[in-house]
Amino acid sequence: MYEAFYGLKAKPFSLLPDPDFIYPTKKHRMAMALLEYTLLNGAPFCVLTGEIGSGKTTLVQHLLQQLEKTFTAGVISHTHATIGELLQWILMSFGLEYRNKNKTECYQTLIEFLDQQHQQGKRSLLVVDEAQNLGIQTLEELRMLSNINIGQRHILQMILVGQPQLRTKLQDASLEQFAQRIALCYHLEPLSPGETGNYIRHRLQKAGATRELFTADAIDLIHRKTGGIPRLINIVSDLSLLFAYTEEKETVSAAAVGEAIRIESVNGILPLKDPSPAEEVGS
C-alpha cells in the first residue's frame, strides 16, 4: 500500500520468514557458524533457543540453504504435546510415504532412506521447530533415533528449535542421557539498540529504499517498545510506515511511531516490551 509512495519494490517488514531479508548481526553470525561447524562435525543434536519472534526460524532456513549440498533436510514445524506417531511425522518431513504403515514399517522406511542418503554421500538432518511443545516421552524417542549410525557416523542429525523453556525442559533429570548428546546449545539474544537501527535500514534497503525513511528518534522508540525482538520490530515498523503514509509524511518520526503504536494498542493485543504510554513521545 505504501511501497510506491516510499519508492520501495517490496514490503520490507513482512512477518513471513525470508532468508533473503536476514540481517546478519554478530549474534546471528555466531549462531550460524557454530551450528554449521557442529553439524559438519557429525553432532547428533544441536539446540537453538530464543524468545518468540527472535528470528530462529529465519536463521535455520538460511542455514539449510547453506548446507543444502551436504544435507538432505526434513522439517517438522507444527509440534505439540500430543504429536502422535513421531516416526510418521519424520517420514512426512522427508517426503516419504507414511500412510497405512505401522511403527515397525515406518522405522524400516526411515532406515532405508537414511542408508540411501549415506550411500549417495548426503547427510540427513531433521529440524524440529517449536520443540518446547514436545513431551518428555517424545524427546526420548528422538534420542533413541540418534542411535542410528554407520560406523562412527550418525546418519541422522537433529536441530531442536524452541523458546527458552526448551532449555529448562532439557535439564529435566529424566532427560540426562539426551542432554549428554547435545553438542551445541545456543540462545539467540534480542537485538541491541544499534542492531535494531541497522536491522530496519537493512530490510528497507533490501526492499529498494534509497534514503533514510526512519529518524533516529523513531528507531530508538521502536527499539524501546519492542525490546529488540525482530518480529515486533517488523510489526511496529510496518504500522509506522503505514501511519506516516496516510499522513503523507516523507519520513517516519518518533511521533508517527508513537501514534501507530497507540492506535494498534487500543485493543491491548500488541505484546510490547515497554509499558509506558506511546503517546507521551513528542515529535
* pLDDT given for residue 21 in this prediction: 83
* Phi/psi of residue 153, nearest 5 degrees: -105, 130
How far apart are alpha carbons 11 and 206 in whole angstroms?
9
Q: Are strands 153-154 and 149-150 parallel, antiparallel or unpaired?
A: antiparallel
- Cα radius of gyration (the chain): 22
Q: Which grid cell sits at 216?
A: 533516529
Task: Collect contacts of 245-252 with beta carbons under 8 A, ≥24 apart.
Answer: 245/1, 245/2, 245/5, 245/6, 248/5, 251/212, 251/213, 251/214, 251/215, 252/213, 252/214, 252/215, 252/218
Q: Where are the alpha helices (DSSP H) in the chain?
A: 26-40, 56-67, 86-93, 103-119, 136-145, 165-170, 176-179, 193-206, 216-226, 230-246, 254-264
* pLDDT given for residue 282 in this prediction: 45
Domain boundaries for CATH 1.10.8.60 within the chain: 192-280
> For the chain, first and last CA: distance in Å?
24
What's the CATH code, domain 192-280? 1.10.8.60
Q: SS3 of 256, please?
A: helix
- Kindly write down the DSSP assignment for every residue of 47-67, as one continuous string: EEEE-TTSSHHHHHHHHHHHH
Domain boundaries for CATH 3.40.50.300 within the chain: 26-188
Per-residue pLDDT of the chain (283 residues; tens, 9 = 90+): 899 999 999 999 988 877 678 888 898 899 999 999 999 999 999 999 999 999 898 899 989 999 999 999 999 987 765 556 889 999 999 999 999 899 899 999 999 999 999 999 999 999 999 999 999 999 999 999 988 877 667 889 999 999 999 999 999 999 999 999 999 999 999 999 999 999 999 999 999 999 999 999 999 999 999 999 999 999 999 999 999 999 999 999 999 999 989 887 776 677 787 756 554 444 4
CA 129 to chain centre: 8
How far apart are alpha carbons 128 and 256 in whole angstroms?
39
Q: Are strands 156-162 and 45-50 parallel, antiparallel or unpaired?
A: parallel
How far apart are alpha carbons 102 and 100 in whole angstroms?
7
Contacts of 69 (CB under 8 A, 6+ apart): none
Q: How many helices (H) and strands (E) would you count in the chain?
A: 11, 7
Q: Which grid cell sits at 155?
A: 546418519
Strand partners for 214: 252
Q: SS3 of 126, please?
A: strand
Annotation: CATH topology of 26-188: Rossmann fold (3.40.50)
Q: Which grid cell sits at 205?
A: 534497503
